[in-house]
Chain A
């Protein structure tokens, strides 16, 4: 019981992230690393990048899921202790992107792992990544008003939505 409370209240404020490149062109990787620089200061939300999946609470996947990396990514997922959150960063990780029909690409990250949150963009800007993560953690409200016609003040808690509807809209 205390455990559930801790997970619900503390985890979003102390998220340790493990970054996986599962076949990306490095565009998204650079943007993810940008997010952690002093300019964007992801650490102010308690977000920290860790080197070992055993320390992580979240996996950030960049790039299309290739046949070669899929088994390794699966093992990384198993090495993360529960509860774990999976983010797909960039168009390729969201749905395969421009490689969706390549012979060595299985598709988006969700072909292999249960992805919780999607941040599209090619590459998504650091602001978009931060916004996506902050929305996923419930630190900001999801800004869906312009897209789906939901009025302000009547927003949906994004965590209660089914997985398909959790697409985080990029702001322009």
Chain B
């Protein structure tokens, strides 16, 4: 393809990045509001995370270390997540054929997590180093489930691009993969039973503890955006029928955002409001058993495909 043919794809990708940037903090605000309602109090306004981010952007940035990792970490994190946002499908519409590769997408999400961990190690503070090593352990628990449950769809459709995944036929294995994905959603977004990395009361923010001002805002924004991407991916891949009957793309995108909001409030918000934090080994065991179930599903899907051929 030549450049002019790519232009619409690039334009749509930039649009998706902006959408994710603008909408992602709203999820956090809705979850905080839900927690307040569950604890029968008033709670902050739903737009509170926007205020927090704007305030952090205006604050002074303290120099904690000379390490370039800390200087460049937050922008790199946010950039990785935004490129991933550009690649992901939205409103039931996958990006043009070559642009939505699954492996690149997962690699970008992992890059954001690894950058966070690297920043934690680079600051040299005890809290952030511990948080960083926990971040890597948490990735070990969460990433296999994510990758394997997406691979089930890839096997079903015989394609590694989002365009292919969206066209995957629904079957029992898809439903099992969807259940594994939603059970692991709390791990991907690192919310309360699995907020082992940040552990506000214990590690005072983990890898974030030494960041201040704009850097903290970017890192925080990345975390919000990640949450949006993981939740939106579930809607796209495992519940495409909720979007497909809305013919017009803007409608589908609005429906997509609302569904993500509903999913986050009803699943992530409720789970985080009624649970205490797990220990790292408990989280690992949980992730591994989910990954085991997902692997069996993957093997079944592969065998069925093979026999079918």
Contacts and interface: CB of A to CB of B under 8 A. Distances in A.
A112 interface: no
A52 B60 contact: no
A146 interface: no
Contacts of A83: 59-60
Interface string B43-57: 111001001101101
A148 to B, nearest CB: 32
A41 B43 contact: yes
B204 A46 contact: no
B55 A14 contact: yes
Contact of A81 (B51, B209, B212): B212
B212 A55 contact: yes
A3 B214 CA distance: 12
B213 A81 contact: yes
Q: Range of interface residues on chain A?
A: 20 to 34
B51 A79 contact: no
Contacts of B213: 81
Contacts of A44: 36, 41-44
Contact of B216 (A41, A43, A55): A55
A161 interface: no
A138 interface: no
Contacts of B55: 6-7, 10-11, 14, 57
Interface of B: 32, 36, 39-45, 48, 51-52, 54-55, 57-62, 64, 127, 200-201, 203-205, 208-213, 216
Interface of A: 2-3, 6-7, 10-11, 13-14, 16, 38-39, 41, 43-46, 50-52, 54-55, 57, 79, 81-83
Given A10-B55, A43-B44, 17 more contacts: A6-B57, A6-B58, A10-B51, A10-B58, A16-B52, A38-B39, A39-B41, A46-B45, A51-B209, A52-B127, A54-B64, A54-B210, A55-B216, A81-B60, A81-B213, A82-B60, A83-B59
